[in-house]
Structure 1
Amino acid sequence: MVKPNRIGEDRGVKRYSEAVGELTKKYYTIAVAGAHGKSTTTAILAKILIDAGLDPTVIIGTKVKEFDNHAPNNTEGSNFKKGDSKYFIIEADEYAASFLDYKPDIAIITNIDKEHLDFYKNEDRVRNAFKKFMLNVKPGGFLVLNNDNKNVLKLGLELAKLKRFQNKIKWFSLRNKAVENIKNILQIPGAHNISNALAALRAGEILNIPQNDILKSVSGYGGAWRRFEYRGSINGAKIFDDYAHHPTEIKATLLGARGHFPHSRIWCVFQPHQHQRLSLLFNEFALSFDSANEVILLEPYEVSGRENMRFAHRGHTRTEREHTQKFTSFNLAKKIDSRMKNNVYYIPYKSELVGFLKKYTAWGDVIIMMGAGDIWRITKELI
C-alpha cells in the first residue's frame, strides 16, 4: 500500500522545494532565509530590483500589493511576480529543511532562532541546517549575514575559516552607518524592519545598484500583507494585522509599535500558532508582551498535518492530559498576568472577541491582531 503523502514521490513528481531548486540552478538567484523577517526582506529587495529595472521573478511568503495576479476584485496583491530577466528572488523557508534544495548566488540570512522545533527538535539542528544552506551558495557567490544575531555571526566566522569556502561575506548590522539613512525613510516601524532593509540594501549593493537608488526604493516600500498592515479602525482605534507567531517576532513587533505610537494604549490580540510551538516556547511567550497595555489570548490555531497529537487537546492518557492542561492559552494568560501590571484576558471564543473589542476600545488606541493562523478573518469582522 502506498501512503497518500508518498504518491507524488513514487510517481516521480518533485516536491515544491525541489522544483524551485531546479530553477535556482538556471537563474541568478537571491534566496532570503532566516527565522524571522524573510518576507519583509524579500519584498523590499524585490522593490529595489524592480525599481532598478532588473525585472526579477519573485516568489515570496506573503502577498505584495504591487504584484498583480490579474484576479478579479483582488486588492491584496500576489505572492508571485513573473519577471523577464535572469534574476530570481525567493523566500527560502527552513521548515523541513526545504531550503537545502536551493542553490543561490546570493544567500541572505536575517537571523537564526529556536523555530520549527517540531521538525528540528533542538537549536543545534536548526543551526546545522542553516550552515548547510550557506554552503549551498554557488562558487563565486555571496553571503549577506546579520552581524547582530549571535547564531549567524558564529556560523559566518566558522565558514570564513574553511579553506573550501571561497565565497564572499557581506555583513549588515544595526551599528552600520547606513542605519540612520534607513531609519529616516522607512515607513514600517521597528528596529527589526530596519535590519531587514539593511539586508536588502547589502544585496542591492552586490548587484551594483547605486545606494541613492536603493534608499529611494526603501522609502517607497509600504509593507506587505499581514506585516503590521493597517486594516481600518473601530471607535477611532487603529487596527493592524501582523503575522508574528514566535516570541522573538511578537516582542519585536510590539516594540516597533510602541516606538511608533508612544502615547497610545496598545492592544495585542494573539492567536498562538500550533499547540506544540506554544508548549516548546511557553516561557519565552510569557516574556514577549511587555510593550502592550492590553493582551488578549485566543485558543491556538491547529495546523493540519503538523500537530503532534499529544500537544493538541486530544490526549487520552493521564500524562498527555496533564501535559496539554499545562501549556494552554489560559495558563499563558495567567503567567503573563503574574508578571505584567497591565490587563491580560483569555477569550476562548472568537465570537466573543469582536463584541469585547467594540465595547472596550477607544479613540487613539492601537489594536494589533497577531498570529499566523486565521485571526485575520476576525479583523475583517471588526472593520
Structure 2
Amino acid sequence: MNLNQIHNVYFIGIGGIGMSNLARYFKNLGKQVCGYDKTPSVLTNELMESGIAIHFEDSIDLIPKDFFIENTLVIITPAVPVTHSEWNYFVEKEYEIKKRAEVLGLITKDTFCFAVAGTHGKTTTSGILGHILHQSGADVTAFIGGIVENYNSNLIGSGTTVTVVEADEFDRSFLHLHPNIACITSMDADHLDIYGTSEAIEASFMEFAAKIEDKNNLFITKELPLEGITCAVNEDAIYKAFNIRIGDGSYVFDVQTPTEIIKDLHFGLPGRHNLMNAVMAIAMANLFGTPTDAIAKAIASFKGIKRRFSYQIKTDAKVYIDDYAHHPTEINAVHQAVRELYPNQKVLAIFQPHLYSRTRDFADEFAKSLSNFDEVLLLDIYPAREQPIQGVTSQWIKDKMLLNNKKLVAKNDLVTAILASDATVVVTIGAGDIGELVPSIKKAINETL
C-alpha cells in the first residue's frame, strides 16, 4: 500500500494517545483527516481546534461524504468493539482498513526509523530522543505515547525522512515496525492477558531484536539476554552515566561514549530510571551523528512527559506529584525518585490499579511496592477493556500489604481522605482515569496552603 496515494484518513478511536499523534501526522502531510471517538477529551478538543472533524456517535450518517470515495484509509484501534457500525460499514464496502501498528509499519518502512522498545521507559526515552533530534535540526517526526511538555503534543516535528516511534509490545504491535536503530529498555513480564507467560513476552522481544541485523545498532541494558550495545548508570558499559550529582534540582552527570566523555550534562527529570532513559536516547542520537553540543543543549532543555513524575504542587510546605506508573517496577521507580528528592518526609501514595488481569498477575508485587510508602490510599481497579475477575479487587492487594497505614477509598471520598493525611509529599499513581482527578486534588491541596 502506498500512503502517498491516500487522500483521506478516517480514524475509529481518534482520541487515543497513539491514534491522535497519527491523526496529527497525516494532517501535517496535507491529508483530509476526520474520525470518531466514544467520548470528548482534551486530545479530541485539540484535534478539533487544529481543523480535524470528530464526532462522538457511532453513526454512518456522520461520516463526511468526501470519505465515501477511493483513496481513503481507515485506521482502527484494538479497543473498538466488533459490533461498531462504522467499522462494519467500512469492512462491508471493502475499504483499506489497518490497525495503528500496521500504519506505523508502513511509515517506518519509508523512513530512517528509531524504535524504542521495553516494558517501561518507552515514552520518556522516545520523547528525549525526539527532542534531541528535532532540536539538532534533523528532518524528524517523533510519535510519542504521551504529551511532551516542551511541545504540549504527542507529536514532535513534521519531518518526512526520519521517524522516532515507541515500539509497543502490546498485541505484538512492534513486530510491524522497520527499525534502523533500536533500543530495549526492559523486558519485564506484562500484558500477560495477551502473552500468557513471561517466556512468551521475552520471545516476542527477541523477535523484535532480530529485526536489527547489525547489533551495533541495538542498544540494551546490561541484564538483558541479548546481543547489543550496553547502556548503564554507574556501571561499566559501552555508554554509561557516571559522576552523578544533584545540583539546583537537576541531575548533573558525565556520559562515557565509545569515543569521548561528554561532561556536565544537566537533566531535570528525577529518578535513576530517567537517567537510564536519557543514556539510551543519548546513545542512539550519538550513533546517528548528532553533535555533542546539540545533545547536551537538548538534554538540559527537556521538560518531561505529562503524567510521568509530573509536579502539580512544589512548595516548601507541600509537594504533589502525579505519575502514570501501572506496573510494580514503575511504582518502585517512583518511590526511589521521591525518597532521593525528599528524604525524611512522609509520603502518601494514591494508587488506582489498571486492569483486572494485571492486578491478578502482579498482586504480590503491587503489595510489596506500595508497602514502601508511608501511607497508601487504594482506589478500585480501573477495568479499561476488561470484565471483572472473581476475587481480584483492590481489597485483595490491601490485604497483602505489609503496611498498617492503608485504606480503600471511593473516588468521591478521595479528596477528603488526602486532606486528612499529614503527609508532606502526595503522589497519585496509575494509568486509568485517576489522571482526571488530578485537577480537583491539586485545587483542594492548594486551598489548604
Residue aligned with 1:267, SS:
strand
Corresponding residue for residue 414 of structure 2: 353
1: CA distance between counterparts of 2:319 and 2:168? Answer: 31
Corresponding residue for residue 267 of structure 1: 348
Deviates more, 1:200-209 or 1:242-251: 200-209
Q: Deviations over 1:112-132 (max 9, x none)?
A: 011100100001110111111
Between Structure 1 and Structure 2, which shows a larger proportion of strand residues? 2
Corresponding residue for residue 76 of structure 2: none
1: CA distance between counterparts of 2:155 and 2:269? Answer: 22
2: CA distance between counterparts of 1:20 and 1:356? Answer: 44
Kindly tell me the number of residue pairs found equivalent between the two proteins. 335
Residue aligned with 1:277, SS:
helix
Corresponding residue for residue 394 of structure 2: 329
1: CA distance between counterparts of 2:306 and 2:192? Answer: 26
Q: Deviations over 1:172-199 (max 9, x none)?
A: 0121443336842321111111111110
Residue aligned with 2:348, SS:
strand
Corresponding residue for residue 374 of structure 1: 433
Shift of 1:170: 1.9
Residue aligned with 1:368, SS:
strand
8 Å contact 1:43–1:224 — kept in the other structure?
A: yes
Shift of 1:289: 2.1
Q: Deviations over 1:31-54 (max 9, x none)?
A: 101000001101111121122111
8 Å contact 2:123–2:145 — kept in the other structure?
A: yes
Q: Which amino acid is the alignment partner of residue 353 of structure 2?
A: P
Shift of 1:236: 3.7
1: CA distance between counterparts of 2:124 and 2:372? Answer: 22
Shift of 1:3: 4.5
Corresponding residue for residue 159 of structure 1: none
2: CA distance between counterparts of 1:51 and 1:82? Answer: 9
Structural mapping, 1:93-242, within 5 Å: 93-137=168-212, 142-147=217-222, 150=223, 152=224, 154-156=225-227, 169-174=228-233, 175-176=235-236, 177-180=240-243, 183-184=251-252, 185-232=266-313, 236-242=317-323
Q: Deviations over 1:279-337 (max 9, x none)?
A: 11111111112431111111000112xx1x3xx06xxxxxxxxxx22x3211211211x
8 Å contact 1:234–1:358 — kept in the other structure?
A: no
Structural mapping, 1:63-82, within 5 Å: 63-67=147-151, 77-82=152-157
Deviates more, 1:352-361 or 1:96-105: 352-361
8 Å contact 1:32–1:90 — kept in the other structure?
A: yes
Shift of 1:251: 0.8
1: CA distance between counterparts of 2:333 and 2:132? Answer: 24
Shift of 1:211: 3.3
RMSD between aligned residues: 2.3
Q: Which amino acid is the alignment partner of residue 357 of structure 1?
A: I
- Percent identical: 32
Query: Which 5+ residue runs of structure 2 have no aligned equivalent?
Result: 1-80, 246-250, 253-265, 443-449
Corresponding residue for residue 56 of structure 1: 140
Corresponding residue for residue 260 of structure 2: none
8 Å contact 2:140–2:159 — kept in the other structure?
A: yes
Shift of 1:237: 2.1
1: CA distance between counterparts of 2:194 and 2:207? Answer: 16
Shift of 1:234: 9.5
Q: Deviations over 1:98-150 (max 9, x none)?
A: 11000110111000011100100001110111111112236697111111xx3
8 Å contact 2:118–2:184 — kept in the other structure?
A: yes
8 Å contact 1:234–1:382 — kept in the other structure?
A: no
Residue aligned with 1:291, SS:
coil
Query: Which 5+ residue runs of structure 1 have no aligned equivalent?
Result: 68-76, 157-168, 314-323
Q: Which amino acid is the alignment partner of residue 155 of structure 1?
A: L
2: CA distance between counterparts of 1:128 and 1:54? Answer: 34
Q: Deviations over 1:70-109 (max 9, x none)?
A: xxxxxxx111134235211111111000110001101110
2: CA distance between counterparts of 1:329 and 1:19? Answer: 37
Residue aligned with 1:108, SS:
strand
Corresponding residue for residue 17 of structure 1: 101
1: CA distance between counterparts of 2:434 and 2:221? Answer: 31
Q: Does 1:39 align with 2:118?
A: no
8 Å contact 1:44–1:200 — kept in the other structure?
A: yes
Q: Which amino acid is the alignment partner of residue 382 of structure 1?
A: I
8 Å contact 2:115–2:183 — kept in the other structure?
A: yes
Between Structure 1 and Structure 2, which shows a larger proportion of helix residues? 1
Shift of 1:379: 1.2
8 Å contact 2:352–2:432 — kept in the other structure?
A: yes
Q: Which amino acid is the alignment partner of residue 36 of structure 1?
A: H
Corresponding residue for residue 331 of structure 2: 250
8 Å contact 2:112–2:180 — kept in the other structure?
A: yes
Corresponding residue for residue 288 of structure 1: 369
2: CA distance between counterparts of 1:262 and 1:55? Answer: 43
2: CA distance between counterparts of 1:57 and 1:196? Answer: 19
2: CA distance between counterparts of 1:108 and 1:278? Answer: 28
